[in-house]
């Protein structure tokens, strides 16, 4: 599918979100934040890589993004390429290949300097792209396939991920979610991976929402089942929900209790320090295990959302609302060979907001860049072993 331009201003990221007041009661307690799972050993480096990848996606979507207002402008493309090229860690090679595929699919000649910084095999890439149509999704897939000929993108993991396929205003939302309000302005991203030499049990544990903060800790600070009091979550002064005393077993069949997620999106404000927007949500979960497959559906409970967006106009301690659609599913199904599976991640997102000049011309493409980044996290699931990923809990995420 050709790259989609997200047209609705209301699909903008919560950078321009407006607060919404909830009519539902929210209980508050004076407890300390609950323990959560693993975090990167170097959060600052992790955020730099995240900001660099989002910047690369955004530069490919809009060639004039260097003229965006300073408050939301991404980092220069050559700087982003250098950060990705210098990164180390288990997923550094996967991120490098993602950056190469995105830029090469955009324009090899225009992006030649950054592709050289990333160490891209330019003659081989030109040969691959020579006879392909000008379709960014097809071209990125072809470049990924060529790069994967050099071996796995992640050490000790036989998995190949796809380029996120993004659609604006899809005809339908996630079938498992009983949401009203239509899909105008909603963005959907579909990402797939072919995984070999694994088991459905291992994939199911990685897919379990309680392990998202282990497998995708660059994106999720905390994900856990919550304690309910009078059928409602209980929140502490940091707006984190109280953790369930008896959470469901990971990868088991469960629908109750719901899930608390705290995730961050990092962009590089040009001329400003890298800053993180933090979102706290409650998700309804449906985990459905099978003998050779596994399915996890998730739907936002919109009355329990809290957003912190530093640097723009909103209260620094956050505001209620910001997101009104966050739904989708993760599925794994056995392939033709033993130990082979197809992993699919589908995400729908809509940020509640209203158009504010001078950001109107930029916010839609920014939202698309961030959604493409989140879809690209699929190899973190495919190659994750939650049992080996546990570690000390991170501190509470506070925006001064």
pLDDT at 247: 96
* Cα separation, 357 vs 342, whole angstroms: 43
Count how many residues are written for the chain.
400
pLDDT tens sequence across 88-98: 989 999 999 99
pLDDT tens sequence across 272-290: 555 678 899 999 999 999 9
Q: Quick check: 270 pLDDT over 90?
A: no
| Range from 212-221, 257-266, 268-277 carrying the lowest mean pLDDT | 268-277
pLDDT at 323: 86
Q: Quick check: 358 pLDDT over 70?
A: no
Alpha-carbon distance values, 59 to 27, 114, 235, 393 (Å): 43, 11, 39, 34
pLDDT at 69: 79
Compute the Cα dihedral for 358, 361, 365, 367 and give only its sign.
positive
Q: Which domains are assigned to the chain?
A: 9-39+158-389 (3.30.530.20)
pLDDT at 16: 35
Token couple for 359: 């950001």
Of 379, 320, 70, 396, which Cα lies nearest the Cα of 196?
A: 379
pLDDT at 340: 95
pLDDT tens sequence across 14-39: 333 333 333 333 333 333 333 444 44
pLDDT tens sequence across 28-67: 333 333 344 444 445 667 888 998 999 999 999 999 999 8
Q: What is the mean pLDDT of residues 249-265?
A: 94
pLDDT tens sequence across 311-345: 555 566 777 888 889 999 999 999 878 899 999 99
Indicate the SS3 state at residue 297. Answer: strand
Contact of 305 with 281, CB cutoff 8 Å: yes
pLDDT at 274: 55
Q: Quick check: 264 pLDDT over 60?
A: yes
Token couple for 236: 């502490």
Q: Quick check: 1 pLDDT over 80?
A: no
pLDDT category of residue 363 using cuts at 50, 70 and 90: confident
Q: What is the mean pLDDT of residues 110-138?
A: 96
Residue 370: enclosing H or E segment and its boundaries? helix 360-375
pLDDT at 73: 84
pLDDT at 343: 97
Q: What is the mean pLDDT of residues 388-396?
A: 45
| Range from 27-31, 256-260, 294-298 carrying the lowest mean pLDDT | 27-31
What's the alpha-carbon Rg for the chain, to the nearest Å?
A: 20
Share of the chain above pLDDT 70, in %: 80
Q: Quick check: 310 pLDDT over 90?
A: no
Q: How high is the mean pLDDT of the chain?
A: 82
Token couple for 305: 């959302």
Full 3-state SS string of the chain: CCCCCCCCHHHCCHHHCCCCCCCCCCEECCCCCCCCCCCCCCHHHHHHHHHHHHHHHHHHHCCCHHHCCCCCCCCCHHHHHHHHHHCCCCCHHHHHHHHHHHHHHHCCCCCHHHHHHCCCCHHHHHHHHCCCCCCHHHHHHHHHHHHHCCCCCECCEEEEECCCEEEECCCCCCCCCCCCCCCCCCEEEEEEEEEECCCHHHHHHHHCHHHHHHHCCCCEEEEEEECEECCEEEECCCCCECECCCCCCCCCCECCCCEEEEEEEEECCCCCCCEEEEEEEEEEEEEEECCCEEEEEEEEEEEEEEEECCCCCCCCCCEECCEEEEEEEEEEEECCCCCCEEEEEEEEEEECCCCCCCCHHHHHHHHHHHHHHHHCCHHHHHCCCHHHHCCCCCCCCCCC
* Cα separation, 345 vs 330, whole angstroms: 5
Indicate the SS3 state at residue 309. Answer: coil
Q: Quick check: 211 pLDDT over 60?
A: yes
Q: What is the mean pLDDT of residues 373-391?
A: 82
Long-range contacts: 371-374, Cβ < 8 Å, 24+? 371/164, 371/166, 371/187, 371/189, 371/347, 372/57, 372/164, 372/166, 372/189, 373/50, 373/53, 373/54, 373/57, 374/189, 374/219, 374/347
Which residues are paired to 330 by β-bridges? 296, 345
pLDDT category of residue 219 using cuts at 50, 70 and 90: confident
Of 35, 6, 22, which Cα lies nearest the Cα of 236?
A: 35
Is the model more confident about 376 or about 154?
A: 154
pLDDT at 337: 86
């Amino acid at each position: 599918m050709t790259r989609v331009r997200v047209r609705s201003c209301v699909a903008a990221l919560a950078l321009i979100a407006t607060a919404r007041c909830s009519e539902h009661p929210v209980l508050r307690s004076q407890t300390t934040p609950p323990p959560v799972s693993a975090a990167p050993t170097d959060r600052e480096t992790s955020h730099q890589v995240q900001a660099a990848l989002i910047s690369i996606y955004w530069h490919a979507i809009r060639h004039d993004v260097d003229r965006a207002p300073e408050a939301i402008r991404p980092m220069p493309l050559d700087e982003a390429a250098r950060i990705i090229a210098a990164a180390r860690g288990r997923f550094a090679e996967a991120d490098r290949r993602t950056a190469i595929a995105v830029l090469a699919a955009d324009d090899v000649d225009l992006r030649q300097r950054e592709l050289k910084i990333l160490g891209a095999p330019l003659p081989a890439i030109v040969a691959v792209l020579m006879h392909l149509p000008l379709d960014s999704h097809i071209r990125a897939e072809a470049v990924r396939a060529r790069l994967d000929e050099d071996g796995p993108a992640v050490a000790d993991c036989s998995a190949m991920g796809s380029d996120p396929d993004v659609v604006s205003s899809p005809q339908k939302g996630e079938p498992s979610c009983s949401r009203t309000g239509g899909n105008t302005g909603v963005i959907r991203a579909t990402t797939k991976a072919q995984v070999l030499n694994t088991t459905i049990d291992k994939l199911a544990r990685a897919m379990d929402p309680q392990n998202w903060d282990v497998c995708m800790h660059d994106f999720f600070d905390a994900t856990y089942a919550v304690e309910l009091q009078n059928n409602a979550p209980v929140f502490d002064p940091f707006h984190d929900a109280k953790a369930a005393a008896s959470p469901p077993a990971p990868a088991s069949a469960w629908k109750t209790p719901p899930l608390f997620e705290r995730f961050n999106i990092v962009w590089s404000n040009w001329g400003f320090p890298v800053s993180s927007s933090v979102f706290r949500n409650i998700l309804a979960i449906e985990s459905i295990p099978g003998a050779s497959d596994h399915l996890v559906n998730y739907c936002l409970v919109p009355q329990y959302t809290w957003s912190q967006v530093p640097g723009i106009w909103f209260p620094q301690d956050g505001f209620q609302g910001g997101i009104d659609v966050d739904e989708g599913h993760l599925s794994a199904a056995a392939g033709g060979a033993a130990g082979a599976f197809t992993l699919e991640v589908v995400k729908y997102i809509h940020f509640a907001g209203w158009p504010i000049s001078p950001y109107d011309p930029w916010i839609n493409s920014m939202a698309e860049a961030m959604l493409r980044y989140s879809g690209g996290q699929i190899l973190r699931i495919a190659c994750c072993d939650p049992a080996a990923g546990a570690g000390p809990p991170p501190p509470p995420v506070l925006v001064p």
